[in-house]
Structure 1
Amino acid sequence: MKRISHYLILLVVLMIISACSNGQEKESGEGEATNTSTNEQFDLRLATVVSPPHPWIDMAEYFAEEVEKRTDGNVKVSIHHSGSLGDDETTIDEMRLGTVDFVIGGTQNAASFIPRLQVFGLAYLFDDMNHFEKAIHHESEIFSYFENEFTEKNLDIKLLALSGGGTRYLSNNKHEIATPDDLKGIKLRLPGSPIESDIWSELGALPSSLSWNEVYSGIQTGVVDGFESTLSGYTGSKLYEVAPYVSLTEHLYMATHFSVSELTYNKLPTEYQEIIDEVAIEAAEIGTEKGKEFDEEMLAELPEHNVTITEIDREEFVDILAPLHDDLAEDLDAKELLELIRTLK
């Protein structure tokens, strides 16, 4: 009997140790990638507001194709363009809930979530495309800065990459705009970035916040007279039909965020997370290069759409807007970020 009692005691002790060990393993695994078999399949959704042809579509297509290929078909990414899943802010909200998995969009339209992204809306901040590309490179301090911003805001969104997407120009349906004086009284559609409202107000325009997918009808109905965009956005949405005047302001380089829902990311096996990270960076580089290609091609095609192209007096615009940089950055509590960008010249 004594020997049986010893066995029973030993058995109870082993059961307690096993239970404690399992509890510790469970606790240490919280927040980490799921140890899902890499044979499990995932069907994910990527949203973007633009219509093809557009560099963001090229980014999305490359990303979807390469992710499926490198995961042996176990991760499939469907592309939902033209705002079919909602505008930028809606899809970012959906990404926080995990109902949209990826978003490729303009940084200015994500500024309500990450206010310091508005720094990319400072007109004539970058000296040239090379300066801009240094800032958005995945190994730059600027990317690391915003990667941390996404984390610290507890948005449940992970920034995968920053990209380009072309140069932004001014378009309207009233008349040619060559100087700041020509902008006075123009009702100008802008993304939801307060800093851009301040900038264009300084030039005499009347800013109006409007979803990108509402710009065409907004011009038609007189809600707005003009807008600023890349030529890809202008052409892809056939805005030349309602706004036939394009001014070559080149005031901004299109800054793009490529983001993923953390709820989606964390349910993927580590192997697939690494593939997502890798391919997103490659796609971002394609977006930047395609943006430059599209600018050149589409500028040459504008006359076919009966578009009036106007050169501007760049120095007049720069003289008014460059002095605003420091004050606007201070309003954003982003002076350190602004100086960081300046050091990359």
Structure 2
Amino acid sequence: MRIVARALGVAVAAALFASPALAQELTLRFGHVGAPGSLFEISAKEFAKRANEKLGDKAEVQVFGASQLGKDQEMLQKLKLGQITFSLPSTVMSSVADEFGIFEMPYIIKDRAHMKRVRDAILDSHLQPAAKEKGYRIIGVWENGFRNITNNTRPINTPEDLQGIKLRTPKGAWRVKMFKLYGANPTPMSFSEVFTALKTGVIDGQENPLAQIWSAKFQEVQKYLSMTGHVYTPAYVLVSDAQFAKLPEDVQTILVETAQELQDYVYEQAARLDVELLEKLKAGGIEVNEADREAFVAASTPIYEEFTETVEGGGELIETVQSLADAE
């Protein structure tokens, strides 16, 4: 009896010590660069809420924003190492695989309804294979948004107004090429460094969706907001293909279904923020102007030509996306 009791005691102790370890193994960390109040934060937290309700005690999604788990490039590496489960990259994906550069083409996405059609048309045929070739998997396509320019030099009405302006861009080659074409001095920089660089005058301006501008408080250190809407950037719910496959199949299924069911919610929140935040920015004192989009479109032809010439299948991809602009 003593031997049985001792064995039971060992078993109970082992179970008690094993439980925290198991829970830790199924803590799924979601990292992103968005500041509090950003669309990234709203989206990731809603994902965690919905996923955790379905997961029960199988696993827990925890969200870490504001670059707490690293900058975009660092989180891409951490995904592969299994140190985090999800990240939410945007422009940086154009540096991972050429196919993602399609969203770097100025004004190629007309509106969110157009983006939905594009997502459905090219995710499985182009974007997912490109991501998997690099060791990643996209489990949902959310949004960063339509990007606009802020700066401290002058209002931007036409590309010529960007001449000589030192403008922060994300670390994506096509965005740099685009702004060089417009005459600016593009300066790739991590998002977490931008506020200080603007405040100290290291850079003159930056370009981002309104939700990122507002949540990062760029309006506090910028005089002008020019509504250029020059690029629409998706955000990708990204995982490591190999690491994600190690999760229990039922957990994988819940996470994928939740990321995809959230897509319409994200678009709705983004549209709401675009309206609300523009009014808040105006009320806050930043000078707002509507840019001459036709002038920007006309100046963008060379970037389309380069994408067609240098990216395999680039011309066909451009045609596919453009053909969906006015589809029902």
TM range (shorter): 0.7 to 0.9
Distance 1:40 1:319, change over 3 A: closer
Out of 144, 148, 161, which is 2:140 matched to?
161
Provide the residue aligned with 1:309 in structure 2: 288
Which amino acid in 2 is paired with 1:49? V
Task: Report what 1:9 is aligned to.
Answer: none
Aligned to 1:336: 316
Cα shift readout 1:191-247 (whole Å, capped 9, x = no counterpart):
111111111111110111111111111112222111110111001010111113100
Quote the Cα distance in structure 2 between the aligned partners of 1:257 and 1:170: 23
User: 1:166, 1:288 within 8 Å by CA — same for their partners in 2?
Assistant: no
Cα gap change, 1:262 to 1:80, in 2 (>3 Å): same
The answer to whether the 8 A contact 1:165-1:288 is kept is no
Structure 2 CA distance for aligned equivalents of residues 229 and 208 of structure 1: 14
Q: 1:248 to 1:300 in 2, by over 3 A?
A: same
Which of 222, 240, 258 is 1:261 aligned to? Answer: 240
Question: 2:257 & 2:44 partners in 1: Cα distance?
Answer: 14
| Alignment check: 8 A CA contact 2:118 2:321 kept | yes
Identify the residue that residue 155 of structure 2 maps to in structure 1: 176
Deviations 1:38-91 (A, max 9, x none): 999711100000112122212211211121111223211111000111110100
Task: Supply the distance in 2 between the matched residues of 1:117 and 1:147 (Cα, whole angstroms).
Answer: 10
Unpaired runs of at least 5, structure 1: 1-37
Aligned 8 A contact 1:123 1:322 in 2:
no
Task: Name the SS of the counterpart of 2:300 in structure 1.
Answer: helix
- Preserved contact between residue 184 and residue 204 of structure 1 (Cα < 8 Å): yes
Distance between the aligned counterparts of 1:68 and 1:123, measured in 2? 38
Is the 8 Å Cα contact of residues 166 and 186 (structure 2) preserved in structure 1? yes
Matching residue of 1:202? 181
Which residue pairs with 1:97 in the alignment? 81
One-letter amino acid of the structure 1 residue matched with residue 79 of structure 2? M
Deviations 1:169-204 (A, max 9, x none): 111112211122211010011111111111111111
Per-residue Cα deviation, 1:91-114 (whole angstroms, up to 9, x for no partner): 0110011101101121x1122222
How many Å separate the matches in 2 of 1:143 and 1:53?
31
Percent identity between the aligned chains?
A: 28
Amino acid in the other structure paired with 1:253: Y
Tell me what 2:100 maps to: 117
- Partner Cα separation in structure 2 for residue 63 and residue 144 of structure 1: 25
**Alignment correspondent of 2:110:** 127
Task: Give the TM-score of the pair, scaled to structure 1.
Answer: 0.83
Aligned residues: 303
Whether contact under 8 Å (1:187, 1:208) holds in the other structure is yes
Corresponding residue of 1:28: none
Q: Which runs of 4+ in 1 moved over 3 A?
A: 38-41
Q: SS of 1:213's equivalent?
A: helix
Match of 1:145 in 2: 126
Deviation at 1:142, TM superposition (A): 3.6
How many Å separate the matches in 1 of 2:259 and 2:82?
18
Contact 1:88/1:110 (<8 A) preserved:
no
Deviations 1:1-48 (CA, angstroms, capped at 9, x unpaired): xxxxxxxxxxxxxxxxxxxxxxxxxxxxxxxxxxxxx99971110000
Conserved? CA contact 2:150–2:223, under 8 Å: yes
CA-atom RMSD, angstroms? Answer: 1.9
CA drift of 1:318 comes to 1.0
* Equivalent residue runs for 1:221-300 within 5 Å: 221-300=200-279
Which whole-Å CA distance do the structure 1 matches of 2:250 and 2:311 have between them? Answer: 38
Q: Which structure has the larger Rg over C-alpha atoms?
A: 1
> Is the Cα–Cα contact under 8 Å of residues 41 and 74 in structure 1 kept in the other structure?
no
